Amino acid sequence: MGKRVGVLMGGWGEEREVSLKTGEAAVAALEAEGHTVTRVFAGPGLDRVLRTAELDVAFVALHGRMGEDGKVQGLLELLELPYTGSGVLASALAMNKPFAKKLFRLHNLPTPQGYRIGREELALLPERHGDLGFPCVVKPACGGSSLGLALVHDAEALAPAVANACRFGGEALVERFVRGHEVTVGILGGEVLGSCEIATPREGFDYDAKYKGGTSYFLPPRLSPTRLANVESLALTAWRALGCRGYGRVDLICTEEQNDFVLEVNTLPGLTPTSLLPKIAAQRGIGFSQLVERILGLATRDEAGVTELPALTSTAQPTPRRAVVG
């Protein structure tokens, strides 16, 4: 039986345009699967809209800050409305790339060396950068769709790149540039769905490369079966390290020297015509509508209640007390 599904799209941030495309694609797929779908345009007053929408489940088609970072997930928890994607904590950790990298290291996952720097700390940039060297990658500490991403080749270009990245949330992440093949691993229901290699004519998979064409995709990636298995294992470990659930995508760099590095985890990957997760699903014979339906089927909420303790049924004999002799 079809469900009453609210597709949350749009949002407050710089990824609104991409979110609207994901949302409309999800709406079409869910309607084709027999669900009653309501478009819910996220913005001020979202809580009031959700309280009156009479929904069974929320399909979160938001991207970036104020949509993918745990804030909307927290609202849905308070409303006791099941939703797609990861929970509050995992969403917040994955969106905050510096914190995610700390957890990757705790789980012995290789990730490029780097540092976080805030907008108010630009004067400390030479000291913070130290011997990290060039080229380096600069990106917003909390963001997606590769907005604000820059590949910096010298010290003169570093400060402008960091300042630009800080426009998206106030903090930047600067990482050592690792030259290699970009590979993304799709995850669905806690299992690896498949992988895709991204080859672009420019250095770095930036916003234009993602959404304006000129990029080639290899499914499966041009890696040996043994190495691909290792890459996919790293991706699944990273996804689990952040406590993710439902579905997601993990981005990695694979070098010619046979080294593989985890870059980041995307808890709400795009579902646009050019998005990577639908490409990976198609390679496995899963059509777009089927993929969206499976994502919907994984919708849930965090366990917030207190579970009753089971009754203790022990057959062990009580230990007799010892007499105290004065």
Residue 264, marked binder: yes
- Does residue 145 have an active-site annotation? yes
Instruction: Let me know: does 191 contact 237? Beta carbons within 8 Å.
Output: no
- Does residue 15 have an active-site annotation? yes
Tokens of 36: 């009653």
| From 86, 91, 145, 195, active-site residue | 145
SS3 16: helix
Residues 6+ apart with CB under 8 A from 123: none
Residue 256, marked binder: no
Tokens of 101: 């990298």
Nearest CA to 76 out of 42, 33, 100 is that of 42
H-helix segments, the chain: 16-32, 46-52, 71-78, 88-95, 97-106, 125-129, 155-166, 207-211, 225-241, 276-283, 288-297
| From 14, 15, 182, 197, active-site residue | 15
| From 19, 86, 91, 275, active-site residue | 275
- How many whole angstroms separate alpha carbon 65 and alpha carbon 147? 12
Between the CA of residue 230 and those of 209, 284, 296, what are the distances in Å? Answer: 27, 19, 29
Instruction: Let me know: does 245 contact 189? Beta carbons within 8 Å.
Output: no
Nearest CA to 109 out of 254, 241, 266 is that of 241
- How many whole angstroms separate alpha carbon 125 and alpha carbon 130? 8
The alpha-carbon radius of gyration of the chain (Å, integer) is 23
Q: Which helix (H) or strand (E) holds 217?
A: strand 216-218
Residue 230, marked binder: no
Instruction: Let me know: does 6 contact 55? Beta carbons within 8 Å.
Output: yes
Binding-site residue numbers for Mg(2+) are 251, 264, 266
Binding-site residue numbers are 251, 264, 266
Which sequence positions are flagged as catalytic? 15, 145, 275
